[in-house]
Amino acid sequence: MSTTEERPIGFGRLKRKEDARFIRGQGRYVDDVQLPGMLHGAVLRSPYAHARIVSIDVSAAQQHPKVHAVLTGRDLDGLGLAWMPTLSMDTQAVLATDKVRFQGQEVAFVIADDRYAARDALELIDVDYEPLPVVVNARRALDADAPVIRDDLEGKADNRIFDWEAGDRAATDAVFARADVVVSEEMLYPRVHPAPMETCGAVADYDAVEGSLTLWSTTQAPHAHRTLFALVARLPEQKIRVIAPDIGGGFGNKVGIYPGYVCAVVGSIVTGRPVKWMEDRSENLMATSFARDYVMRGSIAATRDGRILAVRVDVIADHGAFNATAQPTKYPAGFFHVFTGSYELEAAHCAVTGVYTNKAPGGVAYACSFRVTEAVYLVERMVDLLARELDADPAQLRLANLIRPDRFPYEAKTGWVYDSGDYETALRKALEMAGYEQLRAEQAERRERGELMGIGLGFFTEAVGAGPRKHMDILGLGMADAAELRVHPTGKAQLGISVQTQGQGHETTFAQIVAQELGIPPEDVEVVHGDTDRTPFGLGTYGSRSTPVSGAAAAVVARKVRDKARVVASAMLEVSADDLEWERGRWFVRGDPDQGATIQEIAMAAHGTVELPKGVEAGLDSETVYDPPNLTFPFGAYLCVVDVDPGTGKVTVRRFVAVDDCGTRINPIIIEGQVHGGLADGVGMALMELIAFDEDGNCLGGSLMDYLIPTALEVPDWETGFTVTPSPHHPIGAKGIGESATVGSPPAIVNAVVDALRPYGVRHVDMPCTPSRVWEAMQGRGAPP
Ligand code: MCN
Ligand code: CUM
């Protein structure tokens, strides 16, 4: 563990390469793609959350002078495309045939000369709906009288999707039975939305002569999407090219395949012209995925003197109308296993039941690390509730129970092996940065004056970087990533990767990884991504897996090039390869440092006429597929200070201290950017964001006037710090950072809000802690004594 920033060549504070084009307005997004003869599609969506489709009349729309085609579920049915497989091995309607199951569901697709005509023509489609009873409350979805949403599934008589558990139920019950103290609480991690700045969309260009499809799309996983299109549309995979140009934020929203993409593809096949589909903000918020929606009942057991013994939790997971959640196949609740948190426990158990409701499908998106977000929130709220019950200081309680550094690699009670950690140092650092003792003193003074100041802590361990491939796959595709490194004769390099930046700066950091390994400047390494024709296969960017998996591939492939360079250098210098030593950017003769060759000289020789040993091929190019031996387990300690207005219940985040540990740090500027963004996300979720529904299933969060996202006005100046505990199994010791702050910040903020409300006896407030909710919580318990 170290706490200073090392700056060797390669790693360090390098400004983002991609920003040159972004700040000049030169980014190229899907909606910037213009093709000759391109048509535009628009989706007709259901106004009902649950209704039988009696009839659809598209004749008037077809007669619109600018309309080229109208697709309905029946048309797609004829092609075997009315339903598509989801990432969770369920099926999802592309265009509804029998019923609509959530408000905003796709019912028809109009293709016209321009997007205005396409939208106008939607109004000419006449759909006769017969409304059905609706269930939007996950707790009621399993009631005997709840309407069955998925009557399309054979033999399905209820809304249960899966039952899944982890840990040891009997052992946990036994520990709870003998514990001095048990605290329980019901809490909701509400439905929120990734809401990237760029909504989802695609341009499909089918060439009937070649039988080939080029698809520009907003995708976080171009290769996986290509395979899925090949399987679903039964197009030969080698004839499909998926291009992800610049992506204006994904946050998980762009992992799945949405009906609009499929309709654009079918539209192009049917019309013989390129078809663009780009959703608007309301469509994105209402229909295109969601995040969270976990109803959790947690319990924590401890000794009277504050040793945490066990945690258990029962969850109802609301997956909406189709189970389209993105997660490794074996794990229907993602990595919720890490609900055991960062603490040494004797036992733990969780049970998760997935249910269908009349809400939009998708899920596990929004910087979630596959449900680690929900898990961390649960355990960190429970630890605070325990501190309250024991009348203990929440920082001291955590310090006493954190897993000690000598316990790593640490096997958690759910079987996961945490690779490395030094939790206490991180927490102490956060407390010190915040001035914890003084803050508590200030709080006591303010309370005397009737002011509501709250201090909240959150400690988290994440599990990111899926695979290993033998344990993790998405629809059978093992979670590994390839990298391809070409070194040109002049020593400039091109790195092809399978992951997809959406703003995370891969063009910069991946160049730095190669630079670090080969000792050439990062400017000399061009990172190629987002085009299946130009990059090797891999599973894409989500779950902060790019650095843990693809970043490892980049390091490994660079090392292969370095090894090859050694052989070439030995031929050039006419010495045995064993007598060569590596220093930044060159191989030299041991004991005679003046005798050597730089990687650039070696590259030229490798492409030149130098005689190479038998069996050694010319050039330095190399490739690799990286299958991670384990996940990486980044961690962090967060502290939040809030002020609550006693008159209005309005929460202001005054300070936020975040100490993160993502192992070896490639580029601190980018890491800080990731953390700042994630912290802002956390403020949004904790205080503002909610996709709400009324009893009829009307979505009440369908615009950015209703769905509030944080701006610079709602967030403080972030105070960030770090420690460095490298991952022992990652080639450069790096762990993921992309989702840490989103995972870690909501519990710190809610813990601070509840702490502020202590004089009112408030135990818990569900997110988002809006003024009205905070106000109600204060009223519920009466005035302070
Ligand atoms: N990094 C580093 N040193 C480390 C770890 C990471 O310098 N030890 C750098 C990486 O090289 C990369 C960035 O930090 O440039 C994030 O890396 P990583 O943690 O590997 O995460 P991913 O690149 O896989 O990004 C995915 C993650 C996810 S899942 C969501 S959701 C999210 C997030 O990234 N979506 C984002 N951050 C986002 N940031 C932006 N701007 N836009 C999104 O859509
Ligand atoms: Cu879960 S949101 Mo990110 O993993 O793309």
Provide mean pLDDT across the span 542-548: 98
Can you tell me the distance from the alpha carbon of 434 to that of 117, in angstroms, rounded to the nearest whole number? 57
pLDDT in tens, 584-623: 899 999 999 999 999 999 999 999 999 999 999 999 999 9
Q: Is the pLDDT of residue 782 over 70?
A: no
Q: Ligand 2 test: best mutation among 88, 369, 373, most atoms within 8 Å of CB?
A: 369
CA distance 426 to 283: 42
> Which tens digit of pLDDT belongs to each residue from 36-79?
999 999 999 999 999 999 999 999 999 999 999 999 999 999 99
User: Which residue has a Cα nearest atom 11 of ligand 1?
Assistant: 509
Q: Cα separation of 91 and 100, whole Å?
A: 14
The H-assigned helical ranges of 89-221 are 115-122, 169-178
The set of residues, in sequence order, having a beta carbon less than 8 Å from that of 116 and lying 6+ positions away, is: none
Give the number of the ligand closest to the Cα of residue 541: 1
Question: Which pLDDT belongs to residue 781?
Answer: 56
User: Phi-psi bin for 133: left (phi > 0), alpha (psi -120 to 50), beta?
Assistant: beta
Tell me how far the alpha carbon of residue 219 lies from the centroid of ligand 2, in angstroms. Answer: 12
CB distance 543 to ligand 1 below 6 Å: yes
Nearest ligand (C-alpha, residue 538) = 1
Q: Per residue, what are the HEC states of 296-333? A: EEEEEEECCCCCEEEEEEEEEEECCCCCCCCCCCCCCC
Beta-strand ranges (E) seen in 66-225 are 67-72, 83-85, 91-93, 99-100, 106-112, 126-131, 160-167, 181-192, 201-207, 212-217
Q: What is the pLDDT of residue 628?
A: 98
Asked if 333 and 198 touch (Cβ cutoff 8 Å), the reply is: no
State if residue 497 touches ligand 1 by the CB under 6 angstroms criterion. Answer: no
Say how far apart CA 484 and CA 468 lie, in whole Å.
20
| Percentage with pLDDT > 70 across the chain | 98
Residue 380 pLDDT > 60, yes or no? Answer: yes
Task: Compute the distance between CA of residue 488 and CA of residue 607 in angstroms, rounded to an integer.
Answer: 8
DSSP 534: T
Mean pLDDT for 518-544 is: 97
Distances (CA, A) of 266 to 55, 85, 289: 22, 16, 22
Q: Which atom of ligand 2 is nearest to the CA of 373?
A: 1
Ligand 2 pocket member 290 (CB < 6 A): no
Q: Closest ligand to 740 CA? A: 1
pLDDT in tens, 437-488: 999 999 999 999 999 999 999 999 999 999 999 999 999 999 999 999 999 9
How far is the centre of ligand 2, averaged over its atoms, from the C-alpha of 657 (Å)?
24
**How far from chain centre, in Å, is Cα 418?**
20
Rounded Cα gap, residues 69 and 426, in angstroms: 60
Q: What pLDDT digit, counting tens, does each position of 305-338 carry?
A: 999 999 999 999 999 999 999 999 999 999 999 9
Q: Is the CB of 364 under 6 A from ligand 2?
A: yes
Residue 495's DSSP bridge partners are 485, 527
pLDDT of residue 784: 52
- Candidates 197, 462, 547, 662: which one to mutate for ligand 1, based on the most atoms within 8 Å of Cβ? 547
What is the 486 CA–ligand 2 centroid distance (Å)?
Answer: 30
Closest Cα partner for 102 from 327, 317, 319, 315?
319
Sign of CA dihedral 682, 688, 693, 694: positive
Model confidence at 3, pLDDT cuts 50, 70, 90, reads very low
Q: How far is CA 250 from the centre of its chain?
A: 8
Q: Is 220 in the pocket of ligand 2 (CB under 6 A)?
A: yes
Does residue 4 register a pLDDT over 50? no
Tell me if 545 CB under 6 Å of ligand 1. Answer: yes
Instruction: Among 292, 500, 544, say which to mutate for ligand 1: greatest number of ligand atoms within 8 Å of CB.
Output: 544
Side by side, which strands form the sheet with 481-487? 525-528, 493-497, 481-487, 622-626
pLDDT at position 417: 98
DSSP state of 507: H
Alpha helices in 368-463 (DSSP H): 372-390, 394-401, 423-434, 436-448
pLDDT in tens, 219-256: 999 999 999 999 988 899 999 999 999 999 999 999 99
Q: What single DSSP character describes residue 611?
A: P
From CA 102, how far away is CA 578, in angstroms rounded? 67
Measure 327 CA to ligand 2 centroid, in angstroms: 10
**How big is the chain, counted in residues?**
785
Calculate mean pLDDT across residues 545-570.
Answer: 98
pLDDT tens figures, 196-225 = 999 999 999 999 999 999 999 999 999 999
Q: 34: buried, middle or exposed (CB in 10 Å: 19+, 13-18, 0-12)?
A: exposed
Binned at pLDDT 50, 70 and 90, residue 363 comes out as confident
> In this predicted model, what pLDDT tens digit does every residue of 256-282 receive, in sequence order?
999 999 999 999 999 999 999 999 999
Domains of the chain (ranges; CATH) run: 19-24+481-626 (3.30.365.10), 33-132+198-248+254-287 (3.90.1170.50), 291-466+630-780 (3.30.365.10)
Q: Around Cβ 754, how many Cβ atoms within 10 Å?
A: 24
Cβ of 678 less than 6 Å from ligand 1? no
Residues 491-516 have a mean pLDDT of 98
Percent composition of the chain: helix, strand, coil (DSSP 3-state, to 5): 30, 25, 45
pLDDT (mean) for 496-513: 98
> Which pLDDT value is given to residue 364?
86
Dump the DSSP string for 456-489.
EEEEEE--BS---TTT-EETTEES-EEEEEEE-T
Q: Is the CB of 368 under 6 A from ligand 2?
A: yes
Query: How confident is the model at residue 564, as a pLDDT?
Result: 98
